[in-house]
Amino acid sequence: MKGLVLDNLRRDQLTDAISKGRRLDGRGMSEYRKLEIRPGIIPKAEGSARVKLGDTEVMAGVKIEHGKPFPDTPDQGVLIINAEVLPLASEYAEPGPPDEDAIELARVVDRGIRESKMVDVNKLVIVPGKEVYLMYVDISVISTGGNLFDASSYAVVAALMNTKFKILKQEENGSVIPTGETSELPIVDLPVSITAVKIKKGIILDPDVEEESINDGRLTVAYDQEGNLCAIQKGQASGLKVEEIMEMVKMGKEKVPEIREMIRGALEKNG
């Protein structure tokens, strides 16, 4: 993400601390900032959630409509994820259509949700090949404090798990009408995204905005409930060695159960 540029003194302080196995904010190398999740915060949405991860704040909303399926998946519902960094989110954010960073953010989050098979889209069909449920998920970045990938993913996961929608049916004349009943989404997995960055020779999880600004390589990995790697995205132009990637994946896998329980706990508490 475009943004903060540190002066040499601050950069040296950060890199020196990380080279000694510590971080300037006092966290351990794999320790996440405080995570807060509030589901159901948009009354007019079918599902929603607001996530705070340290100074990063993200909101996700789900809107469900009906329409034609994609030609290559006629028997599946449709999931589309978009992202927007609001102008007030950062002094570096600009108004206008989503830039390449927002597009990357949406794609990375989408891939983790989609490849984990979190939602059984085969059950979101009204009439095979003709009418299916269309799920639109909008990510709005309220404050950019580092690690938008994970914060956005947690917001989308919580919003989808919080979703309730009207059950529809097609009548003989072809019109689609509500049945008067509602349903939750057919959730079959709870994926967790973990982002790691390399700074010199150190590897840390959940970089804040300063750490993110000096990273030498980024890796975002999504894990399913069984701990399997289901999506991976490398960021930044610099390369990562195989052993560095393996270490990032290992650190992420060890952190996943903790994050997953936080998401579940927030949903149960506010459900």
pLDDT of residue 229: 94
Residue 38 lies in a domain: yes
CB neighbour class for 27 (10 Å; exposed up to 12, middle 13-18, buried from 19)? middle
CA 195 to chain centre: 11
**pLDDT classification of 97: cutoffs 50, 70, 90:** low
Q: What are the tens digits of pLDDT across the range 161-212?
A: 999 999 999 888 878 889 999 999 999 999 999 999 999 889 999 999 999 9
Residue 69 lies in a domain: yes
pLDDT of residue 271: 61
How many structural domains comprise the chain? 1
Distance set, CA 69 to CA 65, 129, 160 (Å): 12, 6, 20
pLDDT of residue 171: 87
Q: How far apart are CA 26 and CA 168, in angstroms?
A: 52
Residue 221 lies in a domain: yes
Q: Which domain holds residue 147?
A: 8-270
The answer to whether the CB of 211 falls within 8 A of the CB of 150 is: no
Q: Which residue type is seen at 206?
A: D
Q: How far apart are CA 164 and CA 183, in angstroms?
A: 5
Q: What share of the chain in percent tops pLDDT 90?
A: 72
Residue 76 lies in a domain: yes
| CATH number, domain with residue 108 | 3.30.230.70
Q: What are the tens digits of pLDDT across the range 219-242?
A: 999 999 999 999 999 987 677 899
Residue 2 lies in a domain: no
pLDDT tops 60 at residue 91? no
Residue 3 lies in a domain: no
pLDDT tops 90 at residue 99? no
Report which of residues 176 and 155 the model is more confident about. 155
Residue 243 lies in a domain: yes
pLDDT tops 70 at residue 4? no
